[in-house]
Chain A
């Protein structure tokens, strides 16, 4: 089975721009979670999607948004980029998440640099 994939792998943007990141989960996985990873901060939960519905979100400003498509692929968007948004953005997929608490498999991440 192919693993979780993310595109693009690297992005360089300037302040004020917006960016869209994509995540394709493992085939058959319907839950996709997004995390922001910065040095010393671990992985900060952004949001989780299942069957095109956002079931939970973390403590991030409204500039961070996401969506999920019917094929379970997910995108996240960051508008009006700030320098502090520079980070590695990871997505993780699992079969269903929730009560099943099944294993999350991570993608390679998208490294976003905001200049």
Chain B
């Protein structure tokens, strides 16, 4: 069935370091890959997304890469700051009006 695996489940970095979160999807028909950030007690919010016809997208300190052949996509956060601490979810739109989410990565940025 459709599945999105996300790693690691927990990530701890020093302020200023980079953080990388990786996801793998199973449905080769997936064509849209959003990333959401969820702070404690708050709703998930979109931080960046990428469509299947693009290999990389960048927005300030955040970038996402997509390897369609390997069915992998990754989130890169550079120069991490304490306010980046949150849970990050990757997701894949599988078609059929359905989005599958990864289990989440809890990112801790130590000051």
- Chain B 13-39 against A: per-residue CB contact (8 Å), 1 yes, 0 no? 000000000000000000110101000
Asked if A101 is at the interface (CB within 8 A of a chain B CB), the reply is yes
Pick 17 A–B contacts, CB within 8 A, sort by A: A33-B97, A43-B89, A45-B98, A45-B100, A45-B101, A48-B97, A50-B97, A55-B97, A56-B97, A98-B97, A101-B31, A101-B51, A103-B46, A103-B49, A105-B46, A106-B45, A107-B43
Asked if A65 is at the interface (CB within 8 A of a chain B CB), the reply is no
Is there an interface contact between A104 and B97, defined as CB atoms closer than 8 Å? no
User: Please, how many angstroms separate the alpha-carbon atoms of A88 and B51 in the complex?
Assistant: 28
Asked if A84 is at the interface (CB within 8 A of a chain B CB), the reply is no
User: Size range of the interface on A?
Assistant: 20 to 34
Residues of A91-111 contacting chain B, CB below 8 A:
97-98, 101, 103-109
* A42 in contact with B93 given A90-B43, A106-B45 (CB within 8 Å): no
Closest 6 CB pairs of A and B: A101-B32, A43-B101, A42-B103, A55-B97, A106-B43, A48-B97
Is there an interface contact between A56 and B93, defined as CB atoms closer than 8 Å? no
Q: List chain B positions with a Cβ less than 8 A from chain A.
A: 1, 6, 9, 31-32, 34, 36, 42-46, 49, 51, 89, 91, 93, 96-104
User: Please, how many angstroms separate the alpha-carbon atoms of A92 and B49 in the complex?
Assistant: 16
Residues of A25-72 contacting chain B, CB below 8 A:
31, 33, 35, 40-45, 48, 50, 55-56, 58-59
Residues in chain A near residue B99, CB distance under 8 A: 33, 45, 104
User: Please, how many angstroms separate the alpha-carbon atoms of A35 and B2 in the complex?
Assistant: 16
Is there an interface contact between A97 and B43, defined as CB atoms closer than 8 Å? no
Residues in chain A near residue B46, CB distance under 8 A: 103-105
